[in-house]
């Protein structure tokens, strides 16, 4: 009991410290705003941008205490300030945050990576709008982070948005579609997998299992790979792995047509299908 009480005290103390830090930053930002408004020495792009970045920091503090409404509010305030400043100067900060986020992602510090890439995304949107390839790169990176943390619905938001932007920018296709479709396929396949497990436990019927558009996005992924990548590429291997997984699930749910689809795929890509099937058997064996 003493240990439980001690842990609760420590948790509450940590939360109180975070709230105190948030209150301090609000006061600092209020003072900063008055200083910029009333003092010509501070009414410059540099200090206004710095204030915007402080709002992003405040948003990150709200993220730590899981207050998403206030996180969004702070990021929107920052976005509004940044939209009135030089886009080229803003971009330098966005690139810096993206580099730092990529480093954290490489080191598997997913929480820190998400924070930096979210900052970069916000700056790019404020400076150039959503219809921009840098925005897509940020969304792709965030989607990858959410997949690694099994946050499928957060990945859905990023992946679907990235696909929507890319389809508007490049209606004729582009190799840059690959990561967008991969993230979209991965979260949809993950949701289908959850439904298939419910079916296996007799929680839902096969008719209630949702495809979530997994087959459509994986086929688009394959079209992109076949158009822009070689037959021995890692991208093709990943895509065939997704298709084999999908066909296996669909067949297990009672749709025998996927047996023929598997044979057709194996005839076209025998080595890739064999490798994917071997990997699937190992997963099942676990």
- The model's confidence at residue 286, banded by pLDDT at 50, 70 and 90, is low
CA dist 51 and 55 (Å) reads 6
Of 16-25, 136-145, 211-220, 254-263, least confident by mean pLDDT is 16-25
- The model's confidence at residue 9, banded by pLDDT at 50, 70 and 90, is very low
pLDDT digits (tens, 9 = 90+) for 100-122: 999 999 999 999 999 999 999 99
Task: Read off the pLDDT of each residue in 77-97 and give the average, rounded to a whole number.
Answer: 95
pLDDT digits (tens, 9 = 90+) for 192-248: 999 999 998 999 988 899 999 999 999 999 999 999 998 889 999 999 999 999 999
- Kindly report the backbone phi and psi dihedral angles of residue 146, in degrees, each rounded to the nearest multiple of 5, phi listed first: -65, -35
- The model's confidence at residue 5, banded by pLDDT at 50, 70 and 90, is very low
Report pLDDT for 13: 60
- Kindly report the backbone phi and psi dihedral angles of residue 46, in degrees, each rounded to the nearest multiple of 5, phi listed first: -60, -50
CA dist 114 and 151 (Å) reads 12
* Confidence check: pLDDT of 7 > 60: no
Report pLDDT for 232: 84
Structural tokens at position 212: 């979530």
pLDDT digits (tens, 9 = 90+) for 152-177: 999 999 999 999 999 999 999 999 99
Percent of the chain with pLDDT over 90: 83
Report pLDDT for 16: 79
Report pLDDT for 1: 40
- CA gyration radius, the chain: 23
Report pLDDT for 171: 93
DSSP state of 207: G
Q: What is the mean pLDDT of the chain?
A: 91
- Kindly report the backbone phi and psi dihedral angles of residue 140, in degrees, each rounded to the nearest multiple of 5, phi listed first: -60, -45
SS3 state at 256:
coil
């Amino acid at each position: 009991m003493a240990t439980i009480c001690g842990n609760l005290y420590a948790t509450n103390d940590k939360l109180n410290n975070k709230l105190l830090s948030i209150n301090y930053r609000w006061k600092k930002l209020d003072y900063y705003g008055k200083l910029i408004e009333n003092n010509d020495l501070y009414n410059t792009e540099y200090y206004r941008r710095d204030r915007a970045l402080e709002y992003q920091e405040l948003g990150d503090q709200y993220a730590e205490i899981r207050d998403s409404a206030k996180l969004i509010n702070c990021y929107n305030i920052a976005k509004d300030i940044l939209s009135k400043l030089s886009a080229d100067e803003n971009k330098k900060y966005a690139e810096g945050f993206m580099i730092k986020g990529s480093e954290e992602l490489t080191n598997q510090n997913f929480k820190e990576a998400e924070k930096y890439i979210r900052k970069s995304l916000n700056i790019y949107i404020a400076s150039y709008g959503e219809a921009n390839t840098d925005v897509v790169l940020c969304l792709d990176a965030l989607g990858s982070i959410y997949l690694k943390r099994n946050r499928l619905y957060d990945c859905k938001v990023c992946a679907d948005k990235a696909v929507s932007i890319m389809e508007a920018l490049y209606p004729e296709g582009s190799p840059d579609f690959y990561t967008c479709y991969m993230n979209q396929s991965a979260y949809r396949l993950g949701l289908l997998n959850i439904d298939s497990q419910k079916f296996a436990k007799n929680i839902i019927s096969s008719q209630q299992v949702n495809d979530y558009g997994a087959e459509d996005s994986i086929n688009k992924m394959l079209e992109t790979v076949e158009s822009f990548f070689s037959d021995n590429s890692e991208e093709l291997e990943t895509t065939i792995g997704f298709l084999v997984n999908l066909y296996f699930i669909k067949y297990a749910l009672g749709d025998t047509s996927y047996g023929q689809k598997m044979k057709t795929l194996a005839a076209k890509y025998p080595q890739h299908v064999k490798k994917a099937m071997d990997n699937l058997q190992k997963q099942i064996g676990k």
